[in-house]
C-alpha cells in the first residue's frame, strides 16, 4: 500500500467546456474532453505518469483552463466499520417476515 494518497481524477473547466482526467488502476490515464474527445495513455511506472500529469495540468492552466475539482482515491484498504455486521452480505434478501414492506406494513 502506498504511503500517500494520490488523486484519482481532476476536472478542468474553461468557459462551458470541461476536461476530465482520470487515473485508472495501474499506470493508465484517460483524458475526456473537451467535447466528445477521449484519449487513453499507458505509462511505464508511477514516476512517468505523475510527470505527465503535472506537465499536462501546467499546459492546461497556461492556456486558460482552471482546475475546478480533485477527487482523491478513498479506498485505503482498511476496514472502517467499528460494529459487527449481522449478516455476511447485507444485500442478500431478508426473509419476508423480517421485512415490513413484504408484510404490507407501510407506516
Report if residue 91 sits inside a domain.
Answer: no
Report if residue 63 sits inside a domain.
Answer: yes
Q: Are 36 and 20 in contact (CB under 8 A)?
A: no
Report if residue 27 sits inside a domain.
Answer: yes
Residue in 13, 27, 102, 21 with CA at minimum distance from that of residue 66: 13
pLDDT tens digits along 50-89: 899 999 999 999 999 999 998 865 555 555 566 666 665 5
* pTM assigned to the model: 0.61
Domain that holds residue 19: 7-70
Report if residue 34 sits inside a domain.
Answer: yes
Residue in 73, 57, 61, 95 with CA at minimum distance from that of residue 4: 73
Report if residue 103 sits inside a domain.
Answer: no
Q: How many domains does the chain have?
A: 1
Report if residue 36 sits inside a domain.
Answer: yes
Question: Three-state SS for 72?
Answer: strand
Report if residue 33 sits inside a domain.
Answer: yes
pLDDT tens digits along 33-61: 999 999 999 999 989 998 999 999 999 99
Q: Domain containing 64 — which CATH number?
A: 2.20.140
Q: Which three cell numbers stand for residue 94?
A: 431478508
Amino acid at each position: 500500500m502506498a504511503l500517500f494518497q494520490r488523486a484519482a481524477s481532476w476536472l478542468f473547466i474553461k468557459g462551458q467546456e470541461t476536461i476530465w482526467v482520470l487515473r485508472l488502476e495501474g499506470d493508465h490515464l484517460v483524458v475526456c474532453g473537451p467535447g466528445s474527445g477521449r484519449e487513453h495513455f499507458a505509462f511505464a511506472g508511477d514516476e512517468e505518469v505523475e510527470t505527465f500529469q503535472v506537465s499536462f495540468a501546467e499546459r492546461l492552466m497556461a492556456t486558460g483552463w482552471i482546475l475546478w475539482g480533485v477527487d482523491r482515491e478513498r479506498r485505503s484498504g482498511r476496514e472502517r466499520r467499528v460494529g459487527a455486521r449481522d449478516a455476511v452480505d447485507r444485500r442478500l434478501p431478508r426473509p419476508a417476515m423480517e421485512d415490513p414492506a413484504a408484510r404490507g406494513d407501510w407506516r
